[in-house]
Amino acid sequence: MRYLFKNALVWKNGAFVREDASVELSVTREKPDDREFVFAKGEYLVLPGFCDVHVHLREPGFSYKETIASGTAAAARGGYTDVCTMPNLDPVPDTAGHLNVQLDIAEKSAAVGLHPYGAVTVGEQGLMLSDMEDMAPMVCGFTDDGRGVQNEELMRSAMKKAAALGKVIAAHCEDARYSGGVIAEGEYARAHGYRGIPAACEWKMVERDLRLAKETGCRYHVCHVSAKESVELIRRAKAEGVDVTAETCPHYLTLNDSMLREHGRFKMNPPIRSEEDRLALLQAVNDGTIDMIVTDHAPHSAKEKHGGLARSLMGVTGLETAFSILYTKLVRTGALPAEKLPALLTDNPRRRFGIPARSGDVCVWEVGREYTVDPETFLSQGKSTPFDGERVFGKCILTVYDGRAVWRVPEEEA
């Protein structure tokens, strides 16, 4: 089977070139499939398959929120051919045996490449180190995402162990002394009587961890950066030679707390912050202080997300909207050059976490097509997104993983 996209913009050798893009699929049946589908009317963008190093697929343990099958199907629809899965599961992957529970499910049901993290501490409880050495050959890195490692000496030990194993520590930076709020500390929180989450909740932990990373030589990665103070700390640490990378998410780059509404789809951790924070993040993405954009895809059930800002669980979905939001709100407005997208969405995350790119893995976008974000059409079981109802450009036409079309737009939409 062959797809031909006429006069497309193709990312090749570090630049966009305009040419006819031919995408060949592997033939797995005895009789060759020599059909050809020609796409000639739209404005197509052909990119290498994306890599998201921060997703929550909820299985094993919480399959009522998401399964590996549904989560990786959503990833494929969003142009992702590799995802790295967070360890807040049941069982927590804190031993090789627990990790294999997840890997066995993935082998049977994952639509794209799945690369698990191992937990830093047993049960993500922050009391003692997990079995990092036994898990190291099987994981992309170590994290206790969902909660910060509060004990400094324990984090120092984890970094020393990770450095010896050649693995990344990816840190959820949340200082428990400042946590417990509902949304970001600021005008909206004050006006609506909510307990705010100060920026110090994030940057105090970033500051501590950067000091430990410099001391131990650990390969350190800061998860879901949301605060301008964190950006400045990371920028300074990079200048000092600390081995640090950082990520942020589409919602932090395109929303500020003046846009919040009284609905759980605007509640995540860390929270959406001020316009000043958003602009600092955008500058950091443009100047390389922040190395990659992830989704922090964190699905919950409808019941868990319909308690308003006060009572909903934290977390939103993102795999199926990330590219369209970035393209519409940042690239089309001139805030982010299109040429930066391949590095932010695939090259840098793959390089940092050792996830190889397959030469045939691509995603194809009809970027001139506008559509409305409708969570009811999501392949993910999680339907909660702050972008519900937004008009955006960029529909994924095709995603190819390992020679197979893991997503193709339905014929009625083609």
Active-site residue set: 296
CB-count burial class (<10 Å; 0-12, 13-18, 19+) for 295: buried
Residue reference for tokens 């020609």 = 38
Give the whole-angstrom CA distance, residue 401 versus residue 387: 27
Which of 261, 321, 312 shows the shortest CA–CA distance to 79? 321
DSSP for residue 176:
T
For residue 262, the number of C-alpha atoms closer than 13 Å in the C-beta half-sphere is 4
> How do 15-24 and 44-48 pair as beta strands?
unpaired
Give the whole-angstrom CA distance, residue 355 versus residue 164: 19
| Sheet of strand 219-222, all strands in order from the earlier edge strand to the far edge | 168-171, 219-222, 244-248, 292-293
Which of 281, 357, 297, 392 shows the shortest CA–CA distance to 88? 297
Q: Residues with Cβ < 8 Å from 261, sequence gap 6 or more?
A: none
CB 188, CB 259: distance < 8 Å: no
> How do 113-116 and 80-85 pair as beta strands?
parallel
CB 126, CB 153: distance < 8 Å: no
Structure tokens at 286: 């443009």
CB 293, CB 285: distance < 8 Å: yes
